[in-house]
Structure 1
Amino acid sequence: MPPKKVAGACCGVEDVGRVFQQIHKSAAHFHKCRTNLLNYAEENRTGVIDAVCRVVLLVLKESPRLAPDSLRRHHSFLTEVCKGFRERFHSDEIAIALLKAVEPFHNANDKTVRLGVVSVFDALLKTVDQSDTSEERQNFYQNVAEMLKLRAHDKFPAVRERAVSAVSCFQSGKKDCDVTQQLMALLCTDNSADVRRQILRCICARKEFLEGYFHGMIRSVRDVVSRVRAEAWDALSRFHWKYLVAYATAKNIPLPDLIHQGLSDASSSVAIACRAALTNCWLHRDYRDDGEAMLELVLAGGGGLEPYEAISTEVLLYCRKHRNARTSVVNFESVSAASLLLWKANAKLAADTEGDDETAVLLPLSQFSTLLQETVYAYARPDVDPKAVKFKNVDEADIILRILLSAFDVYEENGYLAHADNTTRGSLLRIIGFLLKVVPDDDPALFIDVAVRSLKSLTGRTPEEATKTITASLDSLFRSLKLPQMYALGYDDVEAFGRKSRERQRELFRLRMKLRGGETSQEAYDQLKEEMDRDEKFLLRMQFIVLAFLSHSQRGDTIPTFCSHIIQLGRQQDNEAVKVASTTSLGLQCLVNPDTVHTFMPLILSDANEIVGSSDRCVALAALGVVFDLVMEYGLRFFDCPARDAGHGGHYTHAGAAELGTGTTTTKTAGTNAAVTSSSTGAAGPIAADAEARLHHERALAQEDEHRVGGNNLLNTLRSFLRSHCAERNPMVVVGFCKLLSCNRVPHAQVPEIIAEILMHYMAYRQEEKGNASAAYMVDFLNKFLYSFASSHPNRQMAFAQGGVVAFTALLRYNPTVALRLMELATRLSDAYVLVQIREIDPATARQVARLAEGENTSMEDSTLNKNASARSTATRTSTRCSRLMRELSRFSLHEYIASELLIEISQTDSGEVSDACLDTLEKRMYFYAKEAPSWLLFCANRALTAANSNLQSRLQKWIDDVCARFPPCAESDVAASEANVTKWQETLEARERAVEKLLDSDIANVLCQTIRCVPPGEGPEVALSAVKMERKRERETDTTFGINSMLTRQRRTRR
């Protein structure tokens, strides 16, 4: 009897509470406490269950005040107790009782209580008896699932994470499962990375899960958070390789590209997870280290070779690490793309590894030539059986050909091509020449780049052989065209070829009209259409060959005459794709041969002025890109005309005399004979003289100098594109000018004007950023460029500040709210701490100031100049290099200049809203680093104070007092200084008015101003920005990866 009393006494709530209290303190007595509870349950199971439920409810009530580690041990102990009940009593009644006890509190106000509830469900649902299919139990599970689905959408991310883990017990993985549908939606839309990672952890290695979650896992592989990407690779690794490849092929997803991105991920944890999935799971688990069998499944997808090479390298490294590597050699009896990939990767690793001999892996060049020849013939004539090689699958001939052509790089790097004998070199050249002549039906550019690159590697010592091979291929393709055969045209009949091509185009149009009217047969129309399509493919092939040949040429290389004729031939065609390729080739020709620049630049400029059509195939955009490339390469001075002693007439006579020196002398000395001849021939004399003068003029025009467009004219033409409004052309023009500014190809006097025009484009893109992917990209591009440009050099930062002030003043006249957004960018990038040479003085202080600047971007109305500047001043004074830092900051401080411009605007405007905007900027965003107060700034402040209305005078006076308090007291300025400031004031007013008017005269400024004028001016910045934020909250971007970092970045930019 006494033991029973002890057992009955030990099963009370107090005793169970002490057990749990001991667990909360430490897990050292974990097993002992579990055993004691189970022993107590043998005597009084109902009492122990009731006591445990009471204690769990008490812990749930106190959970906001308990440590996370204690709660973690608490839930682990509950799980072990429930498992012990299952093992000893073959019952899960304690788990069910606990779940029923905490279920009513799932919607508590305290988020910690809700987290405790879902944590209990997450821990105990895995311990219930799944074989119990009674109606009562199924109804309970249904209620639990509905409750957890509600908590999966909780406001608190931690609650959602545990709820997702708990509710995953009820999903089947199929798309028609309600729980699976909700988890799939959360995987794509939840803004918490831990929730998305938890959903990926709950994916089981079953076929139905692969079908339901495949797109979600692929999306998570590209997630913005690295731990989610790593978990996505772990989730994918649970499925068999062949099923993944089958789904990726069916969904048209490039799985090798995704693996390559994962292997080269910037996060080491993601790269490790991807590598483990590739080698430990798919290679070792699924294929027993047979890399060739694994690669065969994905090679049918095509694409570039780089992902396959990366996968092959990882496979070989894994086999080497586990001492299971086999030397990959080429077996001519069974050649496959997978075996050749492993062979190339093995050869490259052997060549790059010290101590390995690549000669045991690389084929001799003679055998390599034979294999390449058989592959080319199998690709060109798949119906003919190869003689010396047996292919495992002839359909892989195109992939095998790409692999073999890329293997030229391995031979080149190890010096095999330089020492090849003439027979082998000649054989390889013939094979490459034949490959260039083959025109694929789908892609006219197929194999051209890699073939030309291999050709250049093979003929490094004998470039004339490369020229001969290219010319022979182009000649063969030209002779295969139908149009020149029909009219017996040669490759130099450029204009006739273009004229006949346009005639054939009109003939096709007439046949189409007649076919619709029933006046001709379908066969005639189809025959002409097929002939034109065939000629287009051959012309494109020829243009791409020339383009690849010039791309792999260097400055000063000899360009074959045939290539120049092919380029001009393409420019005469009535086909956009051919003209775009030929225009690009013409630009490369000018880059390779500077002597041709002045000849073709007028033609390229004429093409750039054409009407812009579709963005993907537009001659105007291609020509504009070529113009920017040439200006970047040669500079604007290269296009200036040389100084001449005489005018046009003098040069006309001089050129004629230079070209026809002897003939001119004879004409002058034989005056009598000329007069007799003139009188005898009557009207023939003037005609001969006109013909001779025209000949002189044509020969003068043939000289290069006559075609120089002039650097200033060229820049004005490009700036006219920048000032105009064309949605298709503007991005290329803006990017082109950004490149010109980066490489200092713009005159310094015009840099601020161009910066102002670029900023107008920037604000236009910001207006369209919300629903336009192209505008969003341009905003991101310009943000990075402007920061890089302004931070690179003090002169560039000064030019940026000047351009920013001009653009701000122009926008201020239409919408101060939009102008303030621009001024925020201008003041932030004009801060002296942005400069690289300032940051290099003390990087730690620069990083601290950068963090302060990010915090100050969200400052509210009560921010003043002193409050904003105090933290920066403290950071500067406490720097280890304080004296040098303050000296350089004072030297390159630009906010004094911006402040003076704002004060000038206040003094010249009658609008209270404009004055408020300028004064807000002065109070919130001005950081002065000068050691003494600039007299010009104080002069402008006094002028603004005099002209300001009574409402702004107090604020402006307070700002002036704060500025004067920051600087040491200065002596009174003399009369000469005052007169100089007055003169400078007048000059500044005139200059800024001219700059603003010039900017407002541009089309892009008119379009932007008309757009922003629609915004009601009475609404302040806060109202407009809050509306934007509300719209962004409602918007759901389904085409991009949803990440918390991107959300914060966009919100921060919106608040600014």
Structure 2
Amino acid sequence: MNKQLKNNIRELFNKVQFTKTCHKSMEKKLKGYYEQSNLDDFAEEFISCLMLPLAIAEKHPHVENTLIFAANFAVGFHSFSNEESSEQMNPFLVKLFDFLMRSHNAVDQGVRFRVCYFLNMVLTAMGDTAYIDDVLCDKITNNMMDRLLDKSPKVRAQAILALQRLQDPSDDDCPVIKLFLFHLCKDPSSEVRRTILSCMARTQRTLLVALRRTRDVNELVRKAAYLFISKVSVRSLSIKQREELLNDGLRDRNDVVKNCVKKELIYSWLRNYNGDFIALLRALDPGMNIKGMETAVLTLKSLLETSDVKVLIDQLPLDVQTRLIPIDKISSENILFWRCLAEHLKRECLIEELEDIIPELSQFCQYIRELLATISSKQLETWERTMNQFMLCQLFEMVKLYDLADECGRENLRSIMLDTLMHELCSDKIVQCIVEYFDEVIPDVDRRLSDLAEVISELRKPSKQTQSQAIPQLTEEEANQKKMLKARLKVKLLEMKEEQYNCIRAKEYLKAEELNVEITKLSKEIEDIEEELTIPMATDDVAEEKEKNDSQTMTVCLEIMCTMMQSPSIMTLVPTLRSLLDHMVLDSLEHPDINIHELALKAVAICCQLDGELAKKYFTMFFLQFSIYPEEPKLWITALKSIFDLLLRFGLEFFDIAQTEEEGAAHDRSRRNKTVRLYTDNEECSAVTSDQFDVEEGGDKFIKVLTSLLDNESQELRVIATEGLTKLLFCRRISSARLLSRLIILWHNPVSEGDTYLSQCLCSFFNSFAVCVPDSQVMLEEAFLPTLKTLANAPDRSPLQGIDPLRISEIILNLTKPGIHKDSSLNVHNDLVFSILAEALNPNSEIEPEVLIKSLKNLDVRLEIETLKENLKEALNNALEKVTEFDKRLVKYIEQFKAKLDAGEPKEMQEDDAISVTSEANSEAMSEAVSDVASEVASDLEK
């Protein structure tokens, strides 16, 4: 090779690495060298210079500049814009591709990465309209497919980028897209999944897979999925898909994902509708279900925060004079937009703008009345009825924006609220909206309850049509006259039939046909008289009127009662409520409609919350729902919630549950009232006795009923049972190491992996329980060995075999570390260490010795009594002798524990060995979940 050429090419490569500004001139120079030299010599030296930046995996501007220059030079010889061009690819470019195909499987990971990276650069530099030879395309595809199996996720990600220009969206069997879809679903690397979403073609098939990635465990993958979907027309998605995307995205715990949905996805969809907010709402169809409405409200709130107020007001189809949407232009979309905009203006304290879009309260009440009248005048289809109910609900939500200081307006509001409750269009959501706000409209409890009770009475009053049918129509004399007339007509009928028979025999068919018409009329007269005679005769006694109990009426009545009883101002079961309970609710428990039965059960439960004696009377009724209605999970759910609410409110002792032991079994009641440590001044209260109920000491039958639901096939029942039992433990209503053990196993059971809410609930509970509950450390200590034994005894095919017992041990020990609980002086590890060593030395132990010995590293033992220290050292020496016999690998764990015991645990070991229970979940999600549980428990206790 010409030495001068070699030096020139090397000098040129040296210059281009520093800046891109000289690339054009250097390309011309290099092209001149190419034309003056032999192809093989030039290609050899060019590739030789290229190998240096290809061998550097780290990102560096000099490497980037060199590779960009090489890629642009390589594709500069040929035009790739003509598909039918017969011109063959430049031989230099062919040699370059051959070199890359030979080097893609290099031993060095960095080289493999750079080869894929440079190949993508070359293909990208070819331009948007490029075409390449089929053979070369297949060769690149096959080689990059091999790199998709690379052990390095970074190499796999670069291979995907290299393949992005070889995918064919029009081909349903495109191998590249098939590979992308496979790795998008199966690849363990989030970087690979994210890269695929950034470069995959958008088709109906790829869109469906991208939709599933919006629930990926990695937040950056979720963000990439939303970015992928934001570039797809909103019309390509179904209404259900749009709702789920916005609902999941706007509620995502990660701000990166949430902001992506707000700034990219929503505004992309808004652009599809030319900035028309109401058209975007129409695409979400908010009026058809609650979830759709909630999603639409979330979306609007996000848009309103970043939009100009004047633009928003201009989009409202309001009448300038009345400041109302004309009745003939009203729709579920524009009324929801009106409500959300009004709430936004009030939230931002833009009072003048708010007054410009809503009228005075009395005028607004008249508007609702006119809408009700318009709706009542029409014959509605089912979907129209649903939409009108939605619009009414939004209008009553807007009522909450008004100041109720206007006495006249407040009285008008009271009137329209009561009239709406009695309207046939009233739904359960409208009832809840009105009755909840009725507290503000009528602060006086007695008057409020009287008004609502009167509404219920009016709703159940028999209609006029029903009453008129109950009034007797015939006197005795009239009935006798009718009977005589009926007898005469029957005789005449027989005569006419006989005459018709004779005409047929004489073949006088026309006359027979005329007689047939007369016979038909006569038969009809006789039937009418018989119907009149079936009406009861008049008597002096008026028929007793029966109240209405159809499903629609009872749904509204029971919803009114349930909602009004949940008002914070109602503390006891007043006579009005007790009367409704006796004369309406209890009768509804036998209603054939299961939904009415469920509402009645809920109403009884709320009444029981207000009256302890009533709770005692009906407590067992809630348990009967499980046996009487085995095929009705809705009733089970309501009954189970009611049971837990009553137990949290009154405690187990209140219902004498301790007496449910087997007959003849002795029960030491004094054990349940065992003494406990006095509280300090900074704790919630001081006491010398504990009213918590020890499950191990009694009431096992009762607990078995509830704990059996932890294994129920219904996910909702499992979650409710778990929440209820954890609340009972947290509030110290029950005490059970066995139950704790079961909950720990449920938390880590592979069967529960897909139930995110259940996992968060248990994770939040154990972190709060270990910190706040006084007896938590002792109960966790007692649950330690039984939990490990349960896992050790699990059958071979049991899903419990998938639980790592060492992980369970680490969790319990970290929950019981000194300093976790408020009582800093408590250290159950001092006792646990002896229990663990005793179990490890037990030749008949069911637990693997390896699990027990390795658990020592998570113990924080602080013995102050020398005798106990000596006993512990002796136990450790015995364990050391035993371990040496069957597994010398475990010796180091005992030695480390002994060293820690002698000298105190080094700081490094604390950092290395301590495993936080909360490390399994996102720390932000965990803190929110703990807060949710604490607030929910506090709310339950207040009720």
**TM-score normalised over the length of structure 2:** 0.69
Name the structure 1 match of 2:606: 588
In structure 1, give the amino acid aligned to 2:207.
Answer: F
RMSD: 4.9
Distance 1:834 1:892, change over 3 A: same
From 278, 282, 293, the equivalent of 1:296 is 282
Question: What does 1:880-895 align with in structure 2 at a 5 Å threshold?
Answer: 891-895=825-829
More off after superposition, 719-728 vs 286-295: 719-728
In structure 2, give the amino acid aligned to 1:331.
Answer: I
Distance in 2, Cα, partners of 1:47 & 1:348? 77
From 622, 647, 654, the equivalent of 2:638 is 622
Distance in 1, Cα, partners of 2:81 & 2:331? 61
Q: Report if the CA contact (8 A) 1:477-1:538 is conserved.
A: yes
Are 2:801 and 1:799 aligned? no
Distance in 2, Cα, partners of 1:803 & 1:582? 40
Q: Report if the CA contact (8 A) 1:289-1:319 is conserved.
A: no
From 808, 827, 831, the equivalent of 1:897 is 831
Distance in 2, Cα, partners of 1:318 & 1:958? 61
- CA offset digits 1:292-333 (Å, max 9, x no partner): 233222226733322212322333343318977637343315
Name the structure 2 match of 1:755: 737
Question: What does 1:250-265 align with in structure 2 at a 5 Å threshold?
Answer: 252-253=240-241, 255-265=242-252
* TM-fit CA distance, 1:759: 0.9
Are 2:580 and 1:562 aligned? yes
Distance 1:576 1:273, change over 3 A: same
* TM-fit CA distance, 1:19: 2.7
Name the structure 1 match of 2:332: 337
Are 2:178 and 1:181 aligned? yes
* TM-fit CA distance, 1:894: 1.9
- CA offset digits 1:753-780 (Å, max 9, x no partner): x1223313543675xx435667886566
Q: Report if the CA contact (8 A) 2:840-2:853 is conserved.
A: no
- CA offset digits 1:536-591 (Å, max 9, x no partner): 55555544443334344654264532245332123224554443332222112222
Name the structure 2 match of 1:874: none
Distance 1:466 1:568, change over 3 A: same
* TM-fit CA distance, 1:632: 0.8
Distance in 2, Cα, partners of 1:282 & 1:412? 31
Name the structure 2 match of 1:365: 361
More off after superposition, 942-951 vs 210-219: 942-951
Distance 1:311 1:919, change over 3 A: closer
- CA offset digits 1:247-297 (Å, max 9, x no partner): 223xx42x14422443343333323322222564333x4334322233222
Name the structure 2 match of 1:99: 97
* TM-fit CA distance, 1:801: 1.0
- CA offset digits 1:432-484 (Å, max 9, x no partner): 2134x447xxxx74544334334444434466345534553465257489999
* TM-fit CA distance, 1:789: 1.3
Q: Report if the CA contact (8 A) 1:201-1:235 is conserved.
A: yes
Distance in 2, Cα, partners of 1:918 & 1:44? 70
SS in 1 for 2:344: helix
From 565, 570, 573, the equivalent of 1:550 is 565
SS in 1 for 2:172: coil
In structure 2, give the amino acid aligned to 1:76.
Answer: I
* TM-fit CA distance, 1:123: 1.0
Distance 1:237 1:910, change over 3 A: closer
- CA offset digits 1:626-680 (Å, max 9, x no partner): 1211111223454469xxxxxxxxxxxxxxxxxxxxxxxxxxxxxxxxxxxxxxx
Distance in 2, Cα, partners of 1:472 & 1:579? 21
Name the structure 2 match of 1:68: 59
Name the structure 1 match of 2:155: 159
Q: Report if the CA contact (8 A) 1:831-1:893 is conserved.
A: no
SS in 2 for 1:114: helix
Distance in 1, Cα, partners of 2:200 & 2:897? 63
From 22, 46, 65, the equivalent of 1:32 is 22
Q: Report if the CA contact (8 A) 1:755-1:803 is conserved.
A: yes
Distance in 2, Cα, partners of 1:66 & 1:617? 60
Distance 1:756 1:35, change over 3 A: same
In structure 1, give the amino acid aligned to 2:301.
Answer: T
Distance 1:124 1:762, change over 3 A: same
Distance in 2, Cα, partners of 1:145 & 1:485? 84
Name the structure 1 match of 2:118: 120
* TM-fit CA distance, 1:742: 1.0
* TM-fit CA distance, 1:353: 1.9
Distance in 2, Cα, partners of 1:922 & 1:296? 59
Q: Report if the CA contact (8 A) 1:941-1:960 is conserved.
A: no
Name the structure 2 match of 1:472: 455
Distance in 2, Cα, partners of 1:714 & 1:605? 18
Distance in 1, Cα, partners of 2:771 & 2:283? 50
- CA offset digits 1:869-905 (Å, max 9, x no partner): xxxxxxxxxxxxxxxxxxx87x332222012223444
* TM-fit CA distance, 1:47: 4.1
Distance 1:781 1:548, change over 3 A: same
Distance 1:257 1:931, change over 3 A: same
In structure 2, give the amino acid aligned to 1:80.
Answer: N
SS in 1 for 2:133: helix
- CA offset digits 1:351-385 (Å, max 9, x no partner): 1223532222223223322333344455566438x
Are 2:135 and 1:148 aligned? no
Distance in 1, Cα, partners of 2:891 & 2:143? 62
Name the structure 1 match of 2:187: 190
In structure 1, give the amino acid aligned to 2:826.
Answer: F
Q: Report if the CA contact (8 A) 1:405-1:454 is conserved.
A: no
SS in 2 for 1:270: helix
Are 2:849 and 1:916 aligned? yes
From 131, 135, 140, the equivalent of 1:139 is 135
More off after superposition, 412-421 vs 958-967: 958-967
Are 2:164 and 1:172 aligned? no
SS in 1 for 2:208: helix
Question: What does 1:224-243 align with in structure 2 at a 5 Å threshold?
Answer: 224-241=217-234, 243=235
Q: Report if the CA contact (8 A) 2:565-2:606 is conserved.
A: yes
Q: Report if the CA contact (8 A) 1:471-1:563 is conserved.
A: no
In structure 2, give the amino acid aligned to 1:727.
Answer: D
Distance in 2, Cα, partners of 1:607 & 1:196? 48
Name the structure 1 match of 2:73: 81
Name the structure 1 match of 2:727: 739
Question: What does 1:450-465 align with in structure 2 at a 5 Å threshold?
Answer: 450-461=433-444, 464-465=447-448
Distance in 2, Cα, partners of 1:335 & 1:45? 76
SS in 2 for 1:744: coil
Distance in 2, Cα, partners of 1:189 & 1:820? 23
Distance in 1, Cα, partners of 2:891 & 2:119? 65
Can you give the 5+ residue segments of structure 1 that lack an aligned partner in the other structure?
A: 385-392, 489-533, 642-709, 841-887, 970-1042, 1050-1056
Distance in 1, Cα, partners of 2:309 & 2:369? 36
Distance in 2, Cα, partners of 1:104 & 1:54? 17
- CA offset digits 1:1012-1050 (Å, max 9, x no partner): xxxxxxxxxxxxxxxxxxxxxxxxxxxxxxx9999xx9x
Q: Report if the CA contact (8 A) 2:278-2:337 is conserved.
A: yes
Are 2:295 and 1:307 aligned? yes
Distance 1:939 1:350, change over 3 A: closer
In structure 2, give the amino acid aligned to 1:334.
Answer: K
SS in 2 for 1:896: helix
From 759, 770, 773, the equivalent of 2:750 is 770
Name the structure 1 match of 2:46: 55
Can you give the 5+ residue segments of structure 2 that lack an aligned partner in the other structure?
A: 319-323, 472-548, 658-692, 904-919, 927-943
Distance 1:474 1:929, change over 3 A: farther
Distance 1:597 1:46, change over 3 A: farther
Distance 1:132 1:193, change over 3 A: closer
- CA offset digits 1:911-964 (Å, max 9, x no partner): 276583575256444331334546288179569959997976999999999877
In structure 1, give the amino acid aligned to 2:571.
Answer: G
Name the structure 2 match of 1:16: 9
